[in-house]
Amino acid sequence: MRVGFIGLGSQGAPMARRIIDAGHPTTLWARRPASLEAFADTPAKVAATPAELAAASDLVCVCVVDDAGVEEVVTGEHGVLAGLREGGVIAVHSTVHPDTCRRLAALAAARGVSLIDAPVSGGGPAAAAGRLLVMVGGDTGTVERCRPVFEAHADPVVHLGELGSGQLTKLLNNLLFTANLATAASTLALGRTLDVDPARLAEVLSHGSGASFALDRVAAAGGTLDRMAVHAGPLLQKDVRLVTDLAGAAGTSTAPVIETADAALKLMDHPR
């Protein structure tokens, strides 16, 4: 497939490079020319607008930060839908509200274009190693068409069901991660009050039944969420807010995991 890639950040850039290295003819677009410099040694082409990128693509992968960014690059005056031919596919790798994907899918369908949601987890290092997790929602046939492209940077690629199910799953993943951050940070803080060195405690826990990815992140940040608040805090706040809204609509907004995740966000809002 001819692939267009939009969103060359810390995660998107290695995803795009893996797609290029796998031999897919690839076109790139970025707001900042500096984002494209790392691809000067590749055969990837550069488009002047998202519409121009889409016109050269069968599949357009969108990996920007939030709902507003996705809507802008897809539906803007020179957006993807202005250039993508009938039969083309848009894959939303960003973590956004499922309704955003459903709304954009309806606009795309009116032009004979398919849209699937395909949020990712693992970060830049996992993308560079081809070990991202991709959570996909959408039509089975469309997902299978795109699978070889996703498998350039991901293992596993999991098809979860209808459109929006990938986003729901990613939001639940991030909710649990945020809750785990709270329990890890509070456990290390409790150890400190009991005169147990937090670094030594983290070392022990990481080799025991209390081990978790969140614990590793908190320990690497010095035992608190202070650094996390600067780097990941805004994105986690966005995702917890989205899943809380969805849970509220379903009448389950008081789930304990949501309350624990909120505790982590409060710790980030009031660092030590």
DSSP letter for each residue of 180-227 = HHHHHHHHHHHHHHTT--HHHHHHHHTTSTT--HHHHHHHHTTSSSHH
Query: Does the pLDDT value for residue 232 go beyond 90?
Result: no
Write out pLDDT tens, residues 40-89: 999 999 999 999 999 999 999 999 999 999 999 999 999 999 999 999 99
Q: 24: which DSSP letter?
A: -
CATH 3.40.50.720-classified regions of the chain:
3-162
What tens digit of pLDDT does each residue of 147-175 get?
999 999 999 999 999 999 999 999 999 99
Q: Does domain 3-162 have CATH number 3.40.50.720?
A: yes
With a cut of 60, say whether residue 271 has pLDDT above it: no
Which residues belong to the active site?
Answer: 170
What's the chain's average pLDDT?
95
Mean pLDDT, range 13-26, rounded to an integer: 98
Burial class (CB in 10 A: 0-12, 13-18, 19+), 241: middle
pLDDT for res 231: 74
**Residues in a beta bridge with 121:** 133
Where along the chain do the CATH 1.10.1040.10 domains lie? Answer: 168-269
CATH superfamily of 168-269: N-(1-d-carboxylethyl)-l-norvaline Dehydrogenase; domain 2 (1.10.1040.10)
**Burial of residue 75 (number of CB atoms within 10 Å: 0-12, 13-18, 19+):** middle
- Give the pLDDT confidence score for residue 272 in this predicted structure: 52
CA-to-CA dists, residue 164 to 81, 132, 150, 159, 217, angstroms: 19, 19, 18, 11, 29
Q: What are the tens digits of pLDDT across the range 182-230?
A: 999 999 999 999 999 999 999 999 999 999 999 999 999 999 898 887 7
Residue 253, pLDDT > 80, answer no
pLDDT of residue 269: 79
Tally of CB atoms within 10 A around 15:
29
| Dihedral Cα 29, 65, 109, 240, nearest 10 deg | 170
Residue 244 · residue 253 · CB < 8 Å: yes
The pTM of the whole model exceeds 0.85: yes
Question: What pLDDT does residue 270 have?
Answer: 62
Confidence of residue 97 (pLDDT cuts 50, 70, 90): very high
Question: Are 185 and 223 in contact, with CB atoms under 8 Å apart?
Answer: yes
pLDDT of residue 255: 85
